Chain A
Amino acid sequence: MFKLAAAAIEIARKHRAEFGDIRIVEDRRQGLAVKNGEIAGLTDQVTLGYGVRVLYKGAWGFASGSVMTERGVAETAQKAVAIAKASRLLMAGRVRLAPEPAYQDFWQTPFLKDPFAVPVQQKLDLLLRLDALMRRNKDVRIASSEMRFIREHQWHMTTDGSRIEQVLLSSGGGITATAVKNGESQMRGYPCSHGGQTLGGGWEIIEAMDLAAHAERVGDEAAALLRAPACPAGPRDLIISGNQMALQIHESVGHASELDRVLGYEESYAGSSFATTEKYRKFRYGSPLVNLVADATLPGGLATAGYDDDAVKAQRWHIVKDGILSGYMTNREFCGRIGMERSWGSCRADGYSNIPITRICNLSLMPGASSTEELVSGIRDGVMMENNVSWSIDQRRLNFQFGCEIGWLIKNGKKTRMVKNPTYQGITPEFWGSCDGIAGPDEWRLWGVANCGKGQPGQTAMMCHGSSPARFRKVKIGVHG
């Protein structure tokens, strides 16, 4: 593949581009879904193509193609050069990339069992079994179970001299039961909603979830939610658990710390950020307990790789340290704007056909010294919420509202009855500032976000957020229209 890639590098050099690169990507993915005893999806996909970036006289051009010949690659590279020339018609200054050493390397996601080697019927049998277990409860109207596996093989070559080959593997799955009665529906999932859990690794990820052990409970809890009272409204203490903390981190810290967004380059679509650069290393983002760490080296992380798509080696850094804004998600183009001489390496593209953009890395809330039991015992009147169903945040990442699958009231230090339709609202720094307890490392888990959308044209990226349950004081809870 590097021989094919060289055709693009040659074109970039011929035009004396300051920088050029090509990413050839072979993407294999398999998705399986069962709904109410029927196969709702069984897809096997292989795509192959390349994207070429050219930085010509300080302006970017990008083109992608899938004709796998040297001529096809060269024509696409020429197209990227022509587009870069057009970009020069509207530029303020020359784009300059932060330097990075050249690498010749191979990296792959560690795994135990190749998920593509597991027979399809074995996967379907498991999904059908889960489906039947969920539907043992007669109120369950829709049972769905699914799995997905993605292997992305990349060959990345730059005019800087990097030749990086990477094989990224992820596996995911989950179950969801929806109970319907009297014009109302309630949903419960395991390990979480939105298609379940996805992590970096192989078939062992599916085995470790032990889905069958949870399927019947999931069905029963969906049905029980139909009969549960609604989550009460008003300011209360809140414990967030399950994958809801992943969404909270993702929306209110992850996207807010993308430096391209901070600098205004996402304004036309996803928006900007309140975490502007004059706040860097000064702004109190949360209470002193709050430490949020970005980590491209995190085992099992969906954004874990040897290198990002700027050919920058994987790193680990703080976004929030002891409650203070301490870092951003960066690429080589923008990191200089905050005085960085080197990017932290958080630039990724969706497949072969998209230009690499600044993305959220794996971003985790570091564990505290408490436990869920201790967090509960310190609440007189509150709610514990688990697993996300709905999310929304304003374009500067301040005002958010989340809805969760399930809640439990906490009264006088005890977790009591189940409540349905729990929601909460907040303003990002005020919310994180109210965090006064985080459970310890024993309860810390990694959650995958496999469908993060950003950019124009729209791109999807995957990353993980680790956390243990955490407590927040006097949160606006139970908001409905």
Chain B
Amino acid sequence: MKNLHNVCEKIFRLAKGAQCEVMAEARDWALTRFAENVISQNVASSSLNLSVRLLDAGRTVKVNLNQADDASLKRGVASGLEILRHQKKDPNLLPLAKPRPLPPGKNLYDRETAGLPPAWRAARAGDLVRACKKKKQTACGTVENGASVLVIANSLGLYAEHRESYAAHSATVRDRDGSGWAERQSFDAREIPFALVNETAMAKAAASRAPREIKPGKYTVVLEPHAAAGLLTFLGAYGFGGQLYNDGRSFVCGKLGKKLFSPLLSMEDNALDGPCAGMVFDYEGQPRSRVTLVENGTVKAVLHDRKTAKKAKTASTGHALPQPSFLGPIPLNLSIKPGQGTLEALIKGTERGILVTQFHYTNLLRPQTVEMTGMTRNGTFMIENGRIAYPIKNLRFTQSMVDAFTRVQAVAGAPLLIAEWGSISCPAMRLDGFNFSSSTKF
């Protein structure tokens, strides 16, 4: 950490009076990947990335480098200054952000998790492989761990630092023509329920053998947390970003304060505490605010960085991405308000519907309605009379999310922390009238 501080100071001196912002990230990280019941890739990476943004009288440039020796820093900053010198002025360019007090945030660093060795990862992978072999199943997946430090500093005296560790286990199990999947992540490896992840993936694989083909059409869906999160992150990113809002491309335009969704849907962006806590400052070093985006179905606010806030004549909520940003601010710590009960209770309350474990290869068709498409994957089941009746072949959905989330019928408790578009804390939920447009062969 001390080194990163020194590196920033050196860069400020080299900037020769130009305003200067540094984003420095040091990262040590390792991943063990297994497939076909063997370790297939086993990798570790150690890196330092420095991103230096220079501003001078309406001119700006960003220089990225990964070598922090004096000669490399001098060369990098000099090349940036040279580009600045020949540039025309942009009168709308914002100066750098001034330092502001930051909230304390939550500890997300565990030294032990950061340093877990390859033998630990191999052992965790081995647990699943051995269990699968006993049941004549095939294990695939990953075990990963590591840590990173991110610093945002600028020549106006701003210095913000975030450190976190990371561990994750993902299990995909194949059982003849069935497949199952489960995944968990945490900053503390001890919080990952490895046995539960393995058992879930194995049970889903066994239960999804010999899937039946069903006709595409509109169905009630019970979305497990990862499936729901895969949709809600798009709704968050394409609806609640200040840039898209200012451009008139968000469904929220003209709808603030109006009820757009089911009263069961409430969501906020909250990096400060709660289940989705993260970095308490944005990529300009400004304090993140906790922002309610949807409250009981009513759209309450959009997220801003300094640039979009200025255009919208409001205050920044502290959601800048690295500047300059084409996309603008988006939710990176999205927390969906949980309801009550379990996934099993959602299934029990469904007369006829489809249980979705996970969506695959989701993509946006039309931003204004957040119309999306994607496939179900790794365990899709027909529910009849409150029970899982039989596995079904995978389906493609084509559906507007603005429309879909008007029909939330129930939200479960016990949300999961999921790494998508930053992170999202999301429970399982049941929606009516979800449109599946075609099916596939398996």
Partner of B371, one of A124, A427, A481: A481
**B374 engages A92 (CB within 8 Å):** no
Stretch at the interface among A78-86, A318-326, A369-377: A78-86
Contacts of B31 in A (CB 8 A): 456-457
Contact call B399/A481, Cβ cutoff below 8 A: yes
Knowing A41-B326, A392-B361, the reply to whether A66 touches B88 (Cβ < 8 A) is no
User: How many angstroms from the CA of A354 to the CA of B31 in the assembled complex?
Assistant: 11
Neighbouring B residues of A144 by C-beta, 8 Å: 326
How many residues of chain A have a CB within 8 Å of chain B?
84
Say yes or no: is B118 at the interface (Cβ < 8 Å to chain A): yes
Q: Which residues of A contact B34 (CB under 8 A)?
A: 90, 268
Could you give, for residues 411-454 of chain A, a 1 whenever the CB lies within 8 Å of some chain B CB and a 0 otherwise? 00000000001010101000000000000000000000000000
Q: Across the interface, do B441 and A427 meet the contact criterion of CB distance under 8 Å?
A: yes
A180 and B247: CB pair below 8 A? Answer: yes
Q: Quick check: is A60 within 8 A (CB to CB) of the other chain?
A: yes
B409 within 8 A of A: no
Contact between chains at A353 and B365 (CB < 8 Å): no
A-B pair number, CB within 8 angstroms: 263
Residue on B with the closest CB to A187?
B367
Pairwise interchain contact B247-A394, C-beta atoms closer than 8 A: no
The segment out of A43-51, A129-137, A280-288 that lies at the interface is: A43-51
Q: CB-CB < 8 A to A274: which residues of B? A: 441
- A421: which B residues are within 8 A, CB to CB? 365-366
Contact A86 B122 (CB under 8 A): yes
Q: Which stretch of B56-64, B192-200, B206-214 is in the interface?
A: B56-64
Q: How far is the CA of A481 from the CA of B403 in the complex (A)?
A: 9
Other-chain contact of B42, A84, A178, A479 (Cβ < 8 Å) = A84
Q: From A396, which residue of chain B is reached at the shortest CB distance?
A: B442
Shortest CB distance B400–A (Å): 5
Task: Say yes or no: A480 contacts B398, CB within 8 Å.
Answer: yes
| A266→B47 CA distance, assembly (Å) | 25
Binds A, one of B137-145, B281-289, B349-357: B137-145
Given contacts A89-B126, A268-B35, A355-B43, contact A42 B60 (CB under 8 A): yes
Assess whether A398 is in contact with B441, with CB atoms less than 8 Å apart.
Answer: yes
Among A45, A49, A357, A425, which residue has its beta carbon within 8 angstroms of that of B63? A45
Q: Choose the segment among B76-84, B107-115, B297-305 that binds chain A (4+ C-beta atoms closer than 8 Å).
A: B76-84
Contacts of B79 in A (CB 8 A): 44
CB <8 Å contact, B129 and A394? no
- Given A394-B375, A395-B375, A421-B365: A180 and B248 interface contact (C-beta under 8 Å): yes
Query: What's the least CB distance linking B95 to chain A, in Å?
Result: 15
The segment from A2-10, A31-39, A461-469 found at the interface with B is A31-39
Cα of A270 to Cα of B198 in the assembled complex, Å: 20
- Residue of B42, B92, B398, B438 near A83 (CB, 8 A) is B42
Q: Which of A64, A90, A425 contacts B47 (CB 8 A)?
A: A64
Q: Compute how far the CA of A33 lies from the CA of B60 in the bound complex, rounded to whole angstroms.
A: 12
Contact sample, A vs B, 17 pairs, CB 8 Å cutoff = A38-B93, A39-B93, A47-B66, A63-B45, A89-B126, A120-B86, A268-B140, A390-B364, A390-B365, A425-B438, A456-B41, A456-B142, A476-B438, A480-B365, A481-B373, A481-B398, A481-B400
Known: A42-B62, A267-B172, A355-B41; 7 extra A-B contacts, CB below 8 A, are A45-B63, A45-B64, A46-B64, A60-B40, A119-B86, A398-B442, A481-B400
